[in-house]
Structure 1
Amino acid sequence: MKNRILVVLLLLFVSIFAAGCSQESESNKNAIETYLEKEFNGPNDQLSTILDQGPHSTELDEYLEENYGDIITDLDQFINSNYVLVFLRDAHFNGYQLGSKNINIQKTENTQSNLYDYEVEVEYRKDEQTSTTIVSGKINLDENGDISRIRKMDGQKLSEELNN
């Protein structure tokens, strides 16, 4: 009888632990998806107006804080490292619109850290022409589920296309 109780308690503990990990993983994926959607959709009218004011406007600082402050650990570092608005800035100044078609996020197995691989199918449009490309990379999250590091590994093709 004692063994049965221990087995039931063990199974209950494992189930609760697994559910907690699953919820944490979903929350982490949501933070990453939010970042990717912000980076690969637009620019909208508000952002275009702000970008036209120059790179050091108060409005741009406010926009970045409002849109990225809750999901990125050190926003100033990310801005200085060109991890925000890179593609949207190029799209704006070269007359393109971006749209994310498919976003795939997978936790990297067998690592101690919160490391995720991402892949985004990005549609870019100018005038009447539409093309797509894939941008992929890795994102690290801190213990709070905020983005602490981004490694864009395969955005060169999109960058080249936007600057042609």
Structure 2
Amino acid sequence: MSAHWTTTNFPSAQEFMTRHSPLGTPFTLAVAGKGGTGKTTLAALLVEELRERGPVLAVDADPNSNLGEALGISVRRTIGQMRDELLEKIADLPPGVSKDQLLEMGLYECLAEEEGVDLLVMGHGEGPRCYCMVNHVLRRCVEALRRN
């Protein structure tokens, strides 16, 4: 059952979270839409509201990657950059180190941490309209973080 909201009955962020997620229960919230419609601004506002309730993992999967700037969080490394470095290192893996271990180590280097919020930024894709590999890496990274 999905809800239909209009501008007159759209719940506040606090009301939405109270109705749809008991306090302390992890949940996923995605913001999507056309370019220039305020997705980054909305995501930043949601992160700020949510971080008051508990730790937040924010993932910026937009190739333009402006969520860090909107939150005032400095991003040192993106998952796209990590992917590029991983592809260069993969042939020279030390004995006993798997690709998954290398990926997980790189993931933690990509985390931008601030009080109450950790931010992962996808970064670039590998070509025009192609974000397949980075999206796959991002999915695996988020799964690894959820386990920890």
TM-score normalised over the length of structure 1: 0.23
Q: Which has the higher contact order (CA 8 A, sep 6+)?
A: 2
Q: Give the number of the structure whose residues are more often strand, by fraction.
A: 1
